Amino acid sequence: MDFLTLIQVLDSTVRLSTPLLLACLAGLFSERAGIFDIGLEGKMLAAAFFSAAIAAVTGNVWLGLLAGVTASLVLSALHGLASITFRGNQLISGLAVTMLAQGFTVLVAQSWFKQGGRTPSLLAEGRFGPITFPFADSVAGVPFIGPIYSELLSGHSILVYVAFAAVPATWWILFRTRFGLRLRAVGENPAAVDTAGVSVVGLRFAAVMICGLLCGLAGAYLATSLQAGFVKDMTAGRGYIALAALIFAKWRPWHAMGACLLFGLLQAVALRFQNIELGGLTIPVQAMDALPYILTVVILAGFVGKAIPPKAGGEPYVKER
């Protein structure tokens, strides 16, 4: 593999990691506050559809983004209503949210655009264009550093940079602010937070809504940056890979970035090379598809360090009387 191919693979790794990273950080906020969310997939899907649909109709990608995020927030509110207000089963609620999105997006797409459950392809103004760094073109010819700067770092959509900036932001919010401390506490010991006079319900709703916001960005990125428009089931299990990355990272922001880059690299490699020859041994493409899930199971099994979820995760909080 020559240097240019490597740069190209890494470049597509960055692109493919972005939706995973946004969804993974979304899950991080929710699960750190004690609300399991297996509905990341559904929220991304809903956001992908509504961002593409509104961008296609108005021709304005920012309005599309707004619509996508709103759709994702609505589903988040539903998840919050079910799992916080009515203390229902969070896993069942997450599953229902995903199914709702899977059905609803195609239903509405068919009803609005009549193109077999897809949106029209987005033209340039309906998409987030690449942001070119200063001097990217002039340094492209410089050996080694040139391609890294102009191909790998420069020329992505704004949401890519937002996603990677969200990593330190998440770390700072969770570990350096009072809100973050309380948010983590509510995921470990909600009774203590309640005793301190802080609203458990309020904190958990805040976390779930942040989760909705980030999922909305992830979905909008899929439909308006990575691809041009919405197609049925376009998230293709990314929400679950993000969930896997979250566990792989043991619910920590920087590790989440590492896990998402790793899983993005696997996708990029699987996309570029079908079967890989490694010293006479052929690795089939399906093994690359399954690898994120297998790695997660191995981590969950605790053979390579133990993944311990937030203590109060999945448990509805009932105030003592």
Partner 1 sequence: MDKMPKWADVVLIPLISLILAAAISALVILAIGEDPIAAVKLMVDGALGSTYGWGYTLYYATNFLFTGLAVSVAFHARMFNIGGEGQAMLGGLGAALVCLYIPWPHWSIALIAAAAGAAIFGAAWAAIPAYLQAKRGSHIVITTIMFNFIAAAVLNYVLVNLLRPAGSMDPATARFPEATHLPSLHDILAPLGIAFNKAGPANVSFLVAIAACFAVWLLIWHTKLGFEIRAFGKSEQGALYAGISPVKITMIAMLISGGLAGMMATNNVMGEAERLVLNSTEGAGFIGIAVALMGRSHPFGVFLAAILFGFLYQGGAELALWTKIPREMIVVIQALVILFTGALDNMVRMPLEKIFVTLRKGKA
Report how far Cα 208 is from the mean position of its chain's Cα atoms. Answer: 14
User: 3-class SS at 179?
Assistant: helix
| CB-nearer residue toward partner 1: 4 or 92 | 92
Task: Determine if 70 is a binding residue for partner 1 (CB under 8 A).
Answer: no
* Interaction between residue 293 and partner 1 (CB under 8 A): yes
Residue choice 70, 300, 315, 317 for contact with partner 1 (CB under 8 A): 300
Query: Is residue 74 at the binding interface for partner 1, with CB under 8 A as the rule?
Result: no
Among residues 8, 89, 121, 227, which is the contact residue for partner 1, using CB under 8 A? 89
| Stretch touching partner 1 by CB under 8 A, among 104-112, 147-155, 186-194, 252-260 | 104-112
Q: How far apart are CA 214 and CA 219, in angstroms?
A: 9
- Give every CB contact of residue 142 below 8 A, 6+ residues apart in sequence: none
DSSP state of 126: G
CB burial class (10 A; 0-12, 13-18, 19+) of residue 45? buried
Region of 64-72, 194-202, 249-257, 281-289 interacting with partner 1 (CB under 8 A): 281-289
Which residues in the 114-133 window bind partner 1 by CB under 8 A?
117
Rounded CA gap, 220 and 50, in Å?
8
Residue 117 to residue 108: CA distance in whole angstroms: 8
Which residues, numbered 232-251, are part of the site for partner 1 (CB under 8 A)?
237, 240, 243-244, 247
Q: Is 48 in the site for partner 1 (CB under 8 A)?
A: no
d(Cα 110, Cα 57) in Å, to the nearest integer? 14
**Residue 96 within binding range of partner 1, rule CB under 8 A:** yes
Considering only 70, 74, 309, 315, the residue that binds partner 1 (CB under 8 A) is 309
304 binds partner 1 (CB under 8 A): no
CA distance 230 to 253: 29
Return the number of the residue (52 or 243) whose C-beta is nearest partner 1: 243
From 87-95, 147-155, 161-169, 178-186, give the range in contact with partner 1 by CB under 8 A: 87-95
Pick from 172, 199, 286, 318 the residue near partner 1 by CB under 8 A.
286
**At closest approach, how far in Å is the CB of 294 from partner 1?**
6
Residue with the two structure tokens 């043991």? 250
As measured in angstroms, the least distance from the Cβ of 225 to partner 1 is: 25
SS3 131: strand
Residue (120 or 309) nearer to partner 1, CB:
309
Place of tokens 């079910």: 82
CB 150, CB 136: distance < 8 Å: yes
| Dihedral angle of Cα 212, 22, 207, 82, to the nearest 10 degrees | 40
Least gap, CB of 227 to partner 1 (angstroms): 20
Report if residue 99 touches partner 1, rule: CB under 8 A: yes
Return the closest-CA partner of residue 160 out of 262, 260, 237.
Answer: 260
Q: Which of 123, 169, 181, 294 binds partner 1 (CB under 8 A)?
A: 294
88 binds partner 1 (CB under 8 A): yes
* Cα–Cα distance measured from residue 296 to residue 243, given in angstroms and rounded to the nearest whole number: 9
Phi-psi map region of 199: left, alpha, beta (phi>0 left; psi -120 to 50 alpha): beta
- How many of the chain's residues bind partner 1 (CB under 8 A)? 46
Helix H or strand E encompassing 127: none
Please report, as ranges, the residues that interact with partner 1 according to CB under 8 A. 38, 78, 81-83, 86-93, 95-100, 102-104, 106-108, 110-111, 117, 237, 240, 243-244, 247, 284, 286-287, 289-290, 293-294, 296-297, 300-302, 309
